[in-house]
Amino acid sequence: MSSTVSLRPLTRIEGHLSVHTETEPFNENNDARRVTEARCEGEMFRGFENVLVGRDPLDAQQITQRICGVCPISHGIASVRAQEMAYGITPNHNGRILQNLIFAANQLQSHVLHFYHLAALDFIDVKAILKYSGNDRTLKALQDWVTHAVSSNELFPVAPFLPQWEADYVENVDFNVGLLAHYVEALNIRRLCHEMGAVFGARLPHSTALIPGGCTQVPTEQGILAYSSRLKQIFSFIRDVYLSDLIQVAQGFPQYFKIGRGCGNYLCYGVFLMDSSGAKHIRPGAVIGNRWEPLDASAIREEVSCSRYQATAPLHPSRGETVPDPNKHGAYSWIKAPRYRGQVMEVGPLARLMVNYHDPDNTAVKQEVDVFLKKHDVALDQMKSVLGRHVARGLEAMRIARLAMQWIQELRLNEPPAEEFEIPKTAVGAGLTEAPRGALGHWLEIENHRIKRYQCVVPTTWNCSPHDDQGHPGAVEQALTGISIENPSQPIEIGRVVRSFDPCLACSIH
Ligand code: NFE
Ligand code: MG
């Protein structure tokens, strides 16, 4: 008889993800057992797509940002891209740069958040702080906190640090305490990212300044200084702290270059407009098997056979429907199942890396990745793993910070920050971009100057999708299948695999 191991909720924020795994039976010795099947369940319906129907299209970039507090700018950008197509405009010079700068700030915030605050505690032995003998005030405060909690058995007040699962942590006090110190420092870096985004975004996390065609804020010398001074600090944190912590974790847990491979297909819509032609710094494309192909957005379908929505044939998002059916027979999740040419696709930093690496016209990314892989003796194929996803995210943070340093110098004082537009009576538009967690699309239909249809297909919808009508499990479900669990009551392996995708359930169901 197989055993079931279920975790709910699984993520440290943006909750309501449950993961259920079937494993080979555990014997009396409790030997590690392989996962034979996995199911991702999104537990809550939200309904943003339906809330938008009948509204002024200009409400969309404000309302869709509320889908999530972690990646709001991605939704704002996807929405303004969809509207720009519908209105027949592209951002002017300043509009494009300002959007890129606000977006970069939010992407950097999200990558730092993910590594330190959502994932790192899977790899840190928090109780190592009890052996700390230095004088750092923050670490001493953390030590007092943990000492009190452990001695009084009151673990709740030290969440999210304790309680934590027993696992194969690295037995080195400096390793663990160093990561804890950076966990705290990263909180400050995220504050700087939010402040940096608010310089031109007016406020964060939900920017009021994003509009179709650009931004409502004009570039000023003070703004440029305020942005650059923060960017310099963030840049050096990523280069000197984040990347070196990533390498330490990779050296401490090398087995995770072999665990959590997943479906092996990668999709990227591309992000950060380079000019008015629509070309993007991170380029779009797909890799199926090891074969690269240009992106064909007409090949996207969402299907709902295992999702709690009224059954339809698989639909392109421009024709998509969201009709909840909570008691649908055979359905086990509120997440839909997007597919590309009928294939399960992984999205996110690893997908962007793979798609850009294999893109025949993009030798720069290949060179950069090859230098890293050679230096650390990692094969490209090993990147299809838990650690590969973390490494891809870190390398990308570095690339985005470098790009932002370029963009901030390209703003033109005394030029308008946005293109003008009129809302047509009838129009359609699609906004394809990359959120921190992967490919994000908004599809919009306008009738009588109002929104008639609004559909979002979101990164975690791709990654945490349930089985489809062909019986193919989603990307995270596939990454879990085949892993071994040492201890069914402390299934840290499941947490490490799933969190390497950085799931956001608020986004995935929207
Ligand atoms: Ni709510 Fe989001 C997802 C990202 S979508 S965090 O999935 O990144 O824009
Ligand atoms: Mg949707």
**Half-sphere exposure of residue 405, counting CA atoms within 13 Å on the CB side?**
13
For 318, the token pair is 């421009």
**Cβ proximity of 60 and 444 under 8 Å:** yes
Residue 504 Cβ contacting ligand 1 at under 6 Å = yes
Residue 457 Cβ contacting ligand 1 at under 6 Å = no
Query: Between residues 506 and 31, which one has the greater pLDDT?
Result: 506
Strand ranges of the sheet holding 484-485, from the earlier edge strand across to the other edge: 3-7, 17-23, 33-42, 484-485
Residue 492 Cβ contacting ligand 1 at under 6 Å = no
Phi, psi of 203 (to 5 degrees): -160, 155
Task: Name the 3-class secondary structure at 60.
Answer: helix
Q: Looking at residue 1, what is its pLDDT?
A: 59
Residue 440 Cβ contacting ligand 1 at under 6 Å = yes
DSSP structural state of residue 234 = H
For the stretch 242-276, pLDDT in tens is 999 999 999 999 999 999 999 999 999 999 999 99
> What are the b/e assignments for 382-395, b being 16+ CB within 10 Å?
bbbbbbbbbbbbbb
**Cβ proximity of 209 and 200 under 8 Å:** yes
Q: Is the pLDDT of residue 157 over 80?
A: no
For the stretch 441-488, pLDDT in tens is 999 999 999 999 999 999 999 999 999 999 999 999 999 999 999 988
Contacts of 273 (CB under 8 A, 6+ apart): 90, 91, 96, 99, 100, 279, 280
For 148, the token pair is 């009190």
Angle (CA) 257 262 264, round 5°: 100
Per CATH, the architecture of 3-125+164-509 is what?
Orthogonal Bundle (1.10)
- Rounded Cα distance between 194 and 112, Å, is 12
**Ligand nearest to C-alpha 442:** 2
Task: Quickly state the pLDDT bin for 423 (edges 50, 70, 90).
Answer: very high
Q: In one letter, which amino acid is 474?
A: G
Q: Looking at residue 3, what is its pLDDT?
A: 83
Cα 321 to ligand 2 centre (Å): 8
pLDDT exceeding 70 applies to what percent of the chain? Answer: 99
For the stretch 170-218, pLDDT in tens is 999 999 999 999 999 999 999 999 999 999 999 999 999 999 999 999 9
Contacts of 184 (CB under 8 A, 6+ apart): 138, 142
DSSP structural state of residue 58 = G
Cα 457 to ligand 2 centre (Å): 5
**Cβ proximity of 8 and 301 under 8 Å:** no
Q: Looking at residue 50, what is its pLDDT?
A: 98
Q: Which helix or strand (DSSP H or E) is residue 408 part of?
A: helix 386-408
Q: Looking at residue 491, what is its pLDDT?
A: 94
pTM here is: 0.97
Phi, psi of 262 (to 5 degrees): 90, -160
**Half-sphere exposure of residue 61, counting CA atoms within 13 Å on the CB side?**
24
Cα 304 to ligand 2 centre (Å): 11
pLDDT exceeding 90 applies to what percent of the chain? Answer: 89
Rounded mean pLDDT of 391-413?
98
Cα 218 to ligand 1 centre (Å): 28
Q: Is the pLDDT of residue 104 over 90?
A: yes
Among 44, 63, 65, 68, name the best residue to mutate to test ligand 1's pocket (greatest count of ligand atoms within 8 A of Cβ). Answer: 68
For the stretch 311-349, pLDDT in tens is 889 999 999 999 999 999 999 999 999 999 999 999 999
Task: Quickly state the pLDDT bin for 30 (edges 50, 70, 90).
Answer: low
Cα 437 to ligand 1 centre (Å): 5
Residue 70 Cβ contacting ligand 1 at under 6 Å = yes
Among 11, 74, 389, 456, name the best residue to mutate to test ligand 1's pocket (greatest count of ligand atoms within 8 A of Cβ). Answer: 74
- Rounded Cα distance between 283 and 238, Å, is 23
For 147, the token pair is 């000492």
Q: Looking at residue 27, what is its pLDDT?
A: 72
Locate the ligand 1 atom nearest the alpha carbon of residue 438 and give its number.
8
Q: In one letter, which amino acid is 197?
A: G
Q: Is the pLDDT of residue 155 over 80?
A: no
Locate the ligand 1 atom nearest the alpha carbon of residue 68 and give its number.
1
- Rounded Cα distance between 347 and 434, Å, is 9
Closest CA to 46 of 14, 70, 22: 14
CA 130 to chain centre: 33
Residue 458 Cβ contacting ligand 1 at under 6 Å = yes
Task: Name the 3-class secondary structure at 348.
Answer: coil
Angle (CA) 15 350 257, round 5°: 90
Residue 119 Cβ contacting ligand 1 at under 6 Å = no
For residue 368, list its beta bridge partners. Answer: none
Residue 510 Cβ contacting ligand 1 at under 6 Å = no
Contacts of 480 (CB under 8 A, 6+ apart): 19, 21, 35, 38, 260, 494, 497, 498
Cα 187 to ligand 2 centre (Å): 31
Domain ranges in the chain are 3-125+164-509, 127-158
**Cβ proximity of 11 and 503 under 8 Å:** yes
Q: Which helix or strand (DSSP H or E) is residue 293 part of?
A: strand 291-293
For 464, the token pair is 């945490």
For residue 446, list its beta bridge partners. Answer: 427, 451
CB atoms within 10 A of CB 505: 28
DSSP structural state of residue 183 = H
- Rounded Cα distance between 409 and 405, Å, is 7
Among 437, 498, 505, name the best residue to mutate to test ligand 1's pocket (greatest count of ligand atoms within 8 A of Cβ). Answer: 437
Among 46, 507, 508, 509, name the best residue to mutate to test ligand 1's pocket (greatest count of ligand atoms within 8 A of Cβ). Answer: 507
Q: What is the pLDDT of the chain when averaged over all its residues?
A: 95
Residue 14 Cβ contacting ligand 1 at under 6 Å = yes
> Where does residue 80 rank: exposed (0-12), middle (13-18), buried (19+ CB within 10 A)?
buried
Locate the ligand 1 atom nearest the alpha carbon of residue 67 and give its number.
1
Residue 439 Cβ contacting ligand 1 at under 6 Å = no
Among 458, 476, 501, 509, name the best residue to mutate to test ligand 1's pocket (greatest count of ligand atoms within 8 A of Cβ). Answer: 458
CB atoms within 10 A of CB 456: 27
